A and B are shown apart, each in its own frame.
Chain A
Amino acid sequence: MSDFSEAQIERYSRHIILREVGGKGQSKLLDSRVLIIGAGGLGSPVGLYLAAAGVGTIGIVDSDAVDLSNLQRQILHATTDLGRPKCLSARETMEDINPDVCVVPHQFHLDSSNVLDVVADYDIVVDGADNFPTRYLVNDACVMQGKPLSHAGILRFEGHVTTIVPGRGPCYRCLYPEPPPPGLVPSCQEAGILGAVAGIVGSIQAAEVLKLILRIGDALVGRLLVFDGLEMAFRSIEIPRDSGCSVCGDRPTITAPIDYEEFCRLRGGTESKPEVQS
């Protein structure tokens, strides 16, 4: 498709040169729609790389405002953005990097009433949330709608990444059927996170999304990549699909999204109002 402008030919030249991408691949990127949950530590590198790569439409779900404690790792936002909605700060940064990209802000809490509608508008979803209820909500919605999902979680010096393609491999609930009891696994707010670890893990998510759009290589389907930043080592763990999984199994018992606040209460949790971003 040579309806690229001169500027686009130059901007995307290092992609087009790749045998696996070419002009056709670059057109696919420009035509694709990716939803990022959370414009935080993971969402920042994902958003930056997807925008730079020319992913045509990028939705961002985040209801928070930029806080000074975010800036150590959330590289979509700047000191001048303090107090601004993260969605808008992210949109500005990403559209500055690449005016070919349309960033759609979704400035609200995801819950069972809106998650299916939001996810339905996109081809691929990226989970960069900072709490378990949102992660289960997004996983379930993606399974129900058959949308590929790049999942990652980080804490301190550690990161976990996997790619969920419903029907082709395990989902998040196959890995962890239920969330841990509230308070057991600390948040980055409590336990800390090395900023660059978020960058490494988020960049892996971005690469996975681009590969899925281009239909090249092997995605992290059925594999959990565990990154240890202190040891500077990656371990790849093969995880099978669970045919008894409550959402993607042969006889699913979860057939509608579970509202995450209710989700916590159902399990007797005392977790306070979940935030979508850390």
Chain B
Amino acid sequence: MTERAPECRLDLRGTPCPLNWVKTKLRLEEMEPGRRIEVTVDQGNPARNVPRSAKMEGHRIVHAISRNGAVRICIERAEESAP
């Protein structure tokens, strides 16, 4: 159990910014701190913006893996999502 598996996966390919982040955020809000979500987004702006927004809210990017024109981003939920 070195790498905890993501609690849920969202395929957000084709979902434009900022809706891809909004949908990710809504899921993160429902999760316990420390749990993980894996979202798949398009390369380019989505792959840049979603991790940046997640980090701005204090969440941790566990990894981001590029494959076949999409990027799989694993995000670990922060302790506190609201200030």
Establish whether A and B are touching in the complex (CB under 8 Å).
yes
Which residues on A are within 8 Å of B, measured CB to CB?
Answer: 1-2, 4, 9-10, 13, 16-17, 19-20, 22-24
| Alpha-carbon separation in the docked complex, A2 to B28 (Å) | 10
| Alpha-carbon separation in the docked complex, A22 to B78 (Å) | 14
21 A-B residue pairings within 8 Å (CB atoms): A1-B29, A1-B30, A2-B26, A4-B26, A9-B23, A10-B19, A13-B18, A13-B19, A16-B26, A17-B21, A17-B22, A17-B53, A19-B56, A19-B83, A20-B82, A22-B25, A22-B29, A23-B25, A23-B29, A24-B29, A24-B82
Residues 24-70 of B at the A interface (beta carbon under 8 Å): 25-27, 29-30, 53, 56-57
| Alpha-carbon separation in the docked complex, A20 to B21 (Å) | 16
**CB-based contact B19/A2 at 8 Å:** no
List residues of chain B with CB within 8 A of the CB of A4: 26
**CB-based contact B30/A22 at 8 Å:** no
List residues of chain B with CB within 8 A of the CB of A22: 25-26, 29, 81-82
| Alpha-carbon separation in the docked complex, A9 to B20 (Å) | 10
List residues of chain B with CB within 8 A of the CB of A2: 26-27, 30
- Closest residue of chain B to A10 (Cβ to Cβ) is B19
- Closest Cβ of chain A to B25, distance in Å, is 6
| Alpha-carbon separation in the docked complex, A23 to B22 (Å) | 9
Which residues on B are within 8 Å of A, measured CB to CB?
Answer: 18-19, 21-23, 25-27, 29-30, 53, 56-57, 81-83
**CB-based contact A16/B30 at 8 Å:** no
- Closest Cβ of chain B to A30, distance in Å, is 14
Q: Interface residues of B: mostly helix, strand, loop or mixed?
A: helix
Complex partner residue of A20 from B19, B25, B83, CB under 8 angstroms: B83
- Closest residue of chain A to B58 (Cβ to Cβ) is A19
- Closest Cβ of chain B to A153, distance in Å, is 33
| Alpha-carbon separation in the docked complex, A9 to B15 (Å) | 12
List residues of chain A with CB within 8 A of the CB of B30: 1-2
**CB-based contact A16/B82 at 8 Å:** no
List residues of chain A with CB within 8 A of the CB of B81: 19, 22
- Closest Cβ of chain B to A248, distance in Å, is 32
List residues of chain B with CB within 8 A of the CB of A10: 19
Complex partner residue of A19 from B18, B23, B27, B82, CB under 8 angstroms: B82
- Closest Cβ of chain A to B11, distance in Å, is 15
- Closest residue of chain B to A23 (Cβ to Cβ) is B26
**CB-based contact B25/A17 at 8 Å:** yes
List residues of chain B with CB within 8 A of the CB of A9: 19, 22-23, 26
List residues of chain B with CB within 8 A of the CB of A24: 29, 82
- Closest Cβ of chain A to B58, distance in Å, is 9
| Alpha-carbon separation in the docked complex, A67 to B45 (Å) | 50
| Alpha-carbon separation in the docked complex, A4 to B23 (Å) | 10
**Known A-B contacts A22-B29, A24-B29; A16 and B83 likewise in contact (beta carbons under 8 Å):** no
| Alpha-carbon separation in the docked complex, A2 to B24 (Å) | 11
- Closest Cβ of chain A to B50, distance in Å, is 12
**CB-based contact A16/B22 at 8 Å:** yes
**Known A-B contacts A9-B26, A22-B29, A23-B26; A17 and B83 likewise in contact (beta carbons under 8 Å):** no
| Alpha-carbon separation in the docked complex, A17 to B53 (Å) | 9
